[in-house]
Amino acid sequence: MTVLDVANLTKIYGDACGECVDNTGPSVGDNQCPVCGSVVACADVDFQLHDGEVLGIVGESGSGKSSLAEMLALDLDATAGDARYHAYDGNMLSADYQARHELQNQHVGMVHQHVQDGLELSFSGGGNVAEKLLAAGWRHYGDIRDRVESLFRETEVPVSRMDDATETYSGGMQRRIQIAKAIANDPGLVVLDEPTTGLDVSVQARVLDMFRGLQREQDVATIVVSHDLDVIRLLADRTLVMRHGRVIETGLTDRIMEDPHHEYTQTLINSVI
């Protein structure tokens, strides 16, 4: 089943002149329009995501990964494009205020690149997760507490820390709380933006492994954005490679890693090995 079908997704920051997309991209070597100065964060992105599938998005800093992720999580307005989500009638990018909140609360879970965008650090970890349940209409205190506890267990955060302020948590725990929050309402789609930045290598591996276990058990369609090829290798079935705001290559993750076709992908893979 197709969970998400994205076509021509485009984000331009600034007052676009109409030629911005033609004036930018890998062939030009820049994402900034020389005519009007707008930044084309991403343009003409197309892909489909099926249930249970993990799609990786890899590219250098500034290639447009977060802009893409945030549009799909409905945290950022798209300049153009169409995104069909299986449980929503029409283009979810043009959902009205109320529909958008319903989608965000119940259908699309997001783990933000910057922890402060996803968590209220002065609140308790339990409170952060409970907030998401409340937004989806949970009302009974005991039920909420039970659900939060079970999410802490699933994401391997000590339940004993539930009532402590999130700012007192380690980076790895904060990341886990973000994941707990993202999956709290059994979403059909989860978007992870750089899920391991700022974490120690050993913590990174455990967070990713935990997530991958959950992902497979719940069969949730996932988009994982990272500039780190190891993260992509570990999680993604298929991968999109981005550069200067465009998708330049798409394929099975192991094929992208071992038989990269595009010149830039070859450079990217070889610069790591």
Partner 1 sequence: MILDIDTVSKTFEMHIIDGKTVPGLADVSFTVDDGEFVAVVGESGSGKSSLLKCIYRTYEPSAGAIRFQTEGGEVDLANCSDREVLAVRGSELGYASQFLNEIPRVPAVDVVARPMWEQGMDREAARERARELLTALDLPAELFDAYPATFSGGERQRVNFARAIAPQPRLLLLDEPTSALDPETRASALELLDDYLPASTTVVGVFHNYDVVQQVADRVVVLDDARLQQVVDIADYDPEVLA
Ligand X SMILES: Nc1ncnc2c1ncn2[C@@H]1O[C@H](COP(=O)(O)OP(=O)(O)O)[C@@H](O)[C@H]1O
Task: Give residues in contact with Zn ion (CB under 5 A).
Answer: 17, 20, 33, 35-36, 38
- Under rule CB under 6 A, residue 259 binds ligand X: yes
Among positions 107, 227, 243, 246, the unique one binding ligand ATP when judged by CB under 6 A: 227
Closer CB to ligand X, 155 or 265, in the complex: 265
Compute how many other C-beta atoms are within 10 angstroms of the C-beta atom of residue 174: 23
Residues 211-230 that bind partner 1 (CB under 8 A): 216, 230
Closer CB to Mg ion, 10 or 66, in the complex: 66
Q: What mask, x for binding partner 1 by CB under 8 A, covers residues 181 to 210?
A: --------------------xx--xx--x-
Please classify residue 62 by burial: count the beta carbons closer than 10 Å to its beta carbon, then call 0-12 exposed, 13-18 middle and 19+ buried.
Answer: middle
3-state secondary structure of 50: strand
Place of tokens 């290798």: 233
Closer CB to ligand ATP, 77 or 120, in the complex: 77
Residue nearest Zn ion, Cβ-based = 33
Angle at 231 between CA 59 and CA 170, to 5 degrees: 115
Which listed option, ligand ATP, Zn ion, ligand X, none, makes contact with residue 258 (CB within 5 to 8 Å by class)? ligand X
Residues 239-268 that bind partner 1 (CB under 8 A): 251-252, 254-255, 258-259, 261-263, 266-267
- Under rule CB under 8 A, residue 114 binds partner 1: no
Buried b (16+ CB within 10 A) or exposed e, 96-108: eeeebebbbbbbb
β-sheet with 238-243: strand ranges across: 108-111, 189-193, 221-226, 54-59, 238-243, 246-252
